[in-house]
């Protein structure tokens, strides 16, 4: 039996520069084939027009899903690839970026809602746990915020982000905090 083909994608842990430094999330549209209604970071599959540049993929997807022009985004870091094994066979490259003030608008074809979660809440509240999917128990990282639950691949990406944030040897935190300085 042939191995499943791996697909490539990029997402952005997009942090708004004004306090309380909300991280942008989307709720995927209910009609989508993959993960309908789930909470995700802006991002998606590589497109041939991206020329193999994962940063370009991430910025294109941010514009499509939440209406953020690339000129408002400063990519500060790239986190290690997170591989999705349970479904869809994606290798996802997460980028960490700051986003200058401005409107967030949704593309109703892909996105049902856009919202933010304060950065400090993510750092303090992300935890490991179990989610029941159908009849399976899935060990994952979970973030409950108001009426929404972040888990699965997005939870794992957030875990990588929090680990990098809390690692004194990693330059991520200093880069983000410097970007917040007036």
Res 89: pLDDT: 78
Which DSSP symbol is given to 101? S
What is the predicted pLDDT for the residue at 29? Answer: 77
- Per domain, the residue ranges of the chain are 7-176
Q: CA 81, CA 10: separation in Å to the nearest integer?
A: 9
pLDDT at residue 32 in the model: 67
Q: What confidence score (pLDDT) does residue 76 get?
A: 97
pLDDT the model gives residue 36: 61
Q: Quick one: pLDDT at residue 92?
A: 95
Q: What pTM was estimated for this model as a whole?
A: 0.92
Q: What parts of the chain have a pLDDT lower than 70? A: 1-4, 30-36, 85-88
Give me the CATH topology for the region 7-176. Nucleoside Triphosphate Pyrophosphohydrolase (3.90.79)
Q: In the 8-state DSSP scheme, what is residue 86? A: S
Specify the pLDDT at position 35: 64
């Amino acid at each position: 039996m042939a191995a499943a083909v791996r697909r490539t994608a990029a997402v952005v842990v997009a942090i708004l520069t004004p306090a309380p430094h909300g991280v942008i999330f989307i709720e995927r549209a209910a009609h989508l084939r993959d993960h309908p209604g789930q909470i995700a970071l802006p991002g998606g599959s590589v497109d041939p027009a991206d020329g193999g540049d994962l940063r370009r993929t991430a910025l294109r997807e941010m514009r499509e899903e939440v209406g953020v022009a690339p000129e408002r985004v400063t990519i500060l870091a790239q986190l290690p690839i997170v591989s999705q094994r349970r479904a869809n066979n994606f290798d996802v490259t997460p980028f960490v970026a700051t986003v200058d003030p401005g409107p967030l608008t949704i593309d109703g074809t892909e996105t049902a809602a856009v919202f933010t979660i304060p950065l400090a809440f993510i750092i303090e509240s992300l935890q490991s746990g179990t989610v029941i999917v159908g009849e399976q128990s899935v060990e994952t990282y979970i973030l409950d915020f108001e009426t929404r639950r972040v888990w699965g691949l997005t939870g794992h990406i957030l875990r990588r982000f929090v680990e990098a944030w809390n690692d004194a040897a990693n330059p991520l935190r200093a880069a983000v905090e410097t970007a917040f300085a007036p």
